[in-house]
């Protein structure tokens, strides 16, 4: 997945990526392997249980064919 030395990064950031991965859990271990001790992992993902999703229903932007591992806050 990554071709870097281990424990090399202070921060790893993923914006709107996890929902596009078929097996998002397999991405977490490499991220942890590449973070320095006390490093920070920041990620965002659409929230199917959020106010915007509830208000917009099926018109909400999170309902897309390329969101293959979409989960709500309780899943």
Task: Give me the average pLDDT of each 10-residue run along the chain (75 residues).
Answer: 76 88 85 92 85 86 70 60
User: Which pLDDT does position 71 carry in this prediction?
Assistant: 61
- Type and span of the H or E element at 42: strand 35-44
43 burial level (CB within 10 Å; 0-12, 13-18, 19+): middle
């Amino acid at each position: 997945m990554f071709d870097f030395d281990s424990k090399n990064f202070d921060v790893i950031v993923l914006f709107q990526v996890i929902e596009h991965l078929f097996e998002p859990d397999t991405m977490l271990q490499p991220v942890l392997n590449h973070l320095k001790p006390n490093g920070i992992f920041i990620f965002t993902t659409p929230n199917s249980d959020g106010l915007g999703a509830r208000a917009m229903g099926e018109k909400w932007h999170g309902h897309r064919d390329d969101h293959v591992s979409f989960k709500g806050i309780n899943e």
